[in-house]
Amino acid sequence: MSEQESGKLGSQLRGWDAATFRTASGDPRLRSTVLALAVLERAPDWERLRARLERLTHFVPTLRMRPLYGIFGMSAPRLALDPDFDVDVHVHRYSLPEGSGWNDLLSDARRMSLTDFDRNRPLWEAVLIDGLPNGEAAFIMKLHHSIADGQATVIMALSLFELGSDPNPEDPPTPEVPDGEDVGTLDIAKANLEDNFQRVKGSAEGLLRAGGQMMRQAISDPTGTLDTMRSTVDSITRAVAVPDAALSPVWSERGTTYHFGAFEFPFDGLKQAAKSRDFSVNDAFMAAVASALDRYHERHGYEVPQLRVNVPISLRGDAGDRSAQASNAVSIARLEMPLAGLGIDELMAAAHELVDEWRGAPATRMADPLADVSWFVPVPVLAQAARASDLTTSNVPGPPIPLYLAGAKMVAAFPLVATIGAAVNVTMVTYDGAACIGVSTDDRSVTDPAELIDDLRWGFEQVTGEGVEPADRYAARQPKGDTPAD
C-alpha cells in the first residue's frame, strides 16, 4: 500500500479499541461513552472556545477521523480523516431554563451519554451549557471509549485548557492536518486484507522468535522455563474466562439506561490515608469503594464475601507526545475483591495485592492480542462476560493546578462513564487539590442511587477520617425545593 493510500485509508482499530467498538455496536447495554464534565466559574468566550476545540483536533487527529467499514463487516473499522470534517457539527451550546440546577445538569449529561454517536463521523461531541446558579457554566465533552480512555481524556485537556484567563503565551504552533479523501468500499476491503495478512505474519514471526528464545532457555533452565510456560497459560486462561454471573445478589439485572451522580472532597485526605499505611492512592480509593458497597449490601440484608471488580491497568509510558498518548492504553484486570468483615487496612491490603498480581501477570501485556482474538467471539458471549462484573473502578490522575477554558476558570472536573455492562462505575479524577468522583448506576440493578451515593461518601469518610458533604458546594447551588440527585 502506497503512503498516499495509507493516509487516506487510515489505520484499523486494533485490540481493546476494536473490541470496545464492536461490543458497543452490538449490545446497547454495553454502550461505551466517556463524558468529562467541567464546571466553570462563568461562561467562557464562545468563539475562543470554538477555536480551542478546532485547534485540539489538529493536536489529536483522531478527533478528525471517521470510521470506515469493509464489505462484510468481518474486520474492525478503520479510522481515517473525514473529508467533510466540520467542528461545528460536533460542538454546540445552550442555556438551561431559569431556576435550573445541578440535578438538571446531571440529567442532561445522562441524556447525552445515552444518545449514540453518528458512526459515520468522528466519534465525539462537546457542549457548553450556561444558566447554572451563581453565573456558572458547564462544559461537557463526550468521547467514544474506543478512541480514548480516562487518562487520554486528561491528556486531551492539556491541549484544550489554558493556564490562565489570558491565552497561553507559549502555546506550540498548531500543526497542519491533511484533508481527508473519499474512499471506496473495495479499497477499504483490500486495505483490511493487507492489514490482516501483515498482522498474522507478524504474529507468526513473533511466535517463532518466542519459541526459539524459549528453546534456548529450556536448555539452560528447563525447570524455570516450564514454570514460565505454566504461569503464562494460567494467566491467559484466567484473563479469557467468562464468569457465569455477577457476585452481587442485589445487582443481578442489567438494562440499557443508567443514572449519574457526583461528589468531591479534598484529595489530600485520601493521599495521606494511603501514605500513612504505606499503600497507594488507588489502594485507598478501592478500599473506600469496597467499604461503601459492603455497607450498601448490608442495608439490603446481604453479607457479600466478594464482588467482581473491573480495574483498568494503564500500559501508558511517560506522557511525552500528546497526540500519541491521547488514545487507549489499558488492560482490564478482573478482580474478586473481598468485602464482608474486613476493615479499611485489610481492604487496602487486598486491593494492593490483587492489582499488583494482575499488573505483573503475563496476560496483562498481551491485552491487545487477546482482544484481537475476541473479534471471532460472538457479541452475546462478550456481553455475558461484561454483565458478570459487579463494579468498575478507575482512578485517573488529573492536573494539580487550576486550569481555564477560553478565559473561564474550571472549578471542578467530573468523570461520567457509562456502566458498560457492570452494575456500577465509580471513577475518580483529581483536580487542583480535589478528588472528583463520578458515579454511574444501572437503572435495573440500583433502584436507590441516592442511597448508594450516601454509602460511597461514607466509605471515603472511613478512609480519610474527614466528612464528605452531600455533593459539597453543589448542594448549595441547587434551587430551593429541588432534591439533589447525588
343 shares its domain with 469: yes
350 and 470, same domain (yes or no): yes
In this prediction, residue 319 carries a pLDDT of: 39
Q: Is residue 221 part of a domain?
A: no
Q: Tell me the pTM.
A: 0.85
Query: Would you state the torsion angle of the CA atoms of residues 278, 281, 283, 287, taken in this order, to the nearest 10 degrees?
Result: 110
Query: What nine digits make up the cell of 293?
Result: 458497597
CATH number of the domain enclosing 437: 3.30.559.30
| For residue 45, pLDDT beyond 50 | yes
Residues 298 and 156 in one domain: no
Contact 93, 405 (CB under 8 A): no
Range of the domain at 393: 258-397+418-477
The β-bridge partners of 266 are: 434
> Do 285 and 434 share a domain, yes or no?
yes
> In sequence order, what DSSP letters do the residues of 125-185 get, joined into one string?
EEEEEE--GGG-EEEEEEEETTT--HHHHHHHHHHH-BSSSSPPTTPPPPPP-PPP----H
73's CB contacts (< 8 A; 6+ apart) are none
Contact 436, 411 (CB under 8 A): no
**Same-domain check for residues 119 and 267:** no
Last residue of a domain, one of 110, 127, 160: 160
Q: Half-sphere exposure (CA, 13 Å, Cβ side) for 378?
A: 3
- pLDDT at residue 204 in the model: 58
Question: Are 447 and 313 members of one domain?
Answer: yes
- DSSP character at residue 480: T
Q: What is the pLDDT of residue 105?
A: 95
pLDDT band at 240 (very low <50, low <70, confident <90, very high): low
If asked whether residues 154 and 265 sit together in one domain, one would say no
- What was the pLDDT predicted at 485? 47
Give the type of residue at 300.
H
Give pLDDT, residue 467. Answer: 86
Q: Same domain, yes or no, for 281 and 146?
A: no
Averaged pLDDT score across all residues of the chain: 83
Distance linking the first and last C-alpha atoms of the chain: 53
Distance CA 149, CA 62 (A): 13
Q: Which of 160, 190, 216 is the endpoint of a domain?
A: 160
- Are 56 and 90 in contact by the 8 Å Cβ rule? The answer is no
Shared domain for 441 and 301, answered yes or no, is yes
Place of cell 486494533: 14
Measured CA to CA, the distance from residue 13 to residue 364 in angstroms comes to: 19
In a domain, 197, yes or no: no
- Lowest mean pLDDT segment, chosen from 76-90, 182-196, 291-305: 182-196
Judge whether residue 318 has pLDDT over 50: no
For the residues 391-417, what does the mean pLDDT come to?
95
Does the residue 34 lie in any domain? yes
143 and 283 inside one domain = no
The answer, yes or no, to whether residue 409 has pLDDT greater than 70, is yes
Q: Is 412 helix (H, G, I), strand (E, B) or coil?
A: strand
pLDDT at residue 484, rounded to an integer: 44
> Do 123 and 262 reside in the same domain of the chain?
no
Asked if residue 262 and residue 150 are part of one domain, the reply reads no
pLDDT band at 234 (very low <50, low <70, confident <90, very high): low
Instruction: Using alpha carbons, select from 440, 410, 473, 485 the residue that is nearest to residue 104.
Output: 485
CATH at residue 121 = 3.30.559.10
pLDDT digits (tens, 9 = 90+) for 449-480: 999 999 999 999 999 998 887 764 554 444 43
Residue 29 in domain: yes
Report how far residue 322's alpha carbon sits from residue 334's, in angstroms, rounded to the nearest whole number. Answer: 29
Give 190-201 pLDDT, tens digit per residue.
Answer: 888 887 777 666
**Residue 410 included in any domain:** no
| pLDDT surpasses 90 at 126 | yes
Count of structural domains, the chain: 2
The answer to whether the CB of 419 falls within 8 A of the CB of 258 is yes
Say if 446 falls within a structural domain. Answer: yes
Model confidence pLDDT, tens digit, residues 337-358: 999 889 999 999 999 999 988 7
Within a domain: residue 86? yes
pLDDT at 398 over 70: yes
Length of the chain: 486
Tell me the torsion sign for CA atoms 404, 477, 141, 253: positive
CA 77 – CA 20 distance, rounded (Å): 12
Contacts of 47 (CB under 8 A, 6+ apart): none
Query: pLDDT class for 138, splitting at 50, 70, 90?
Result: very high
Q: Which three cell numbers stand for residue 407?
A: 478565559
Compare 109 and 154 and report the one with higher pLDDT. 109
pLDDT score for 32 = 86
Asked if residue 306 lies in contact with residue 337, where contact means CB atoms within 8 angstroms, the answer is yes
Q: At what angle do helices 185-220 and 222-240 cross, to 10 degrees?
A: 150
Specify the pairing of strand 124-130 against strand 137-144.
antiparallel
Query: Is 213 a member of any domain?
Result: no
Comparing 363 with 381, which gets the higher pLDDT?
381
pLDDT, residue 375, reads: 56
Q: Which residue among 160, 192, 213 closes a domain?
A: 160
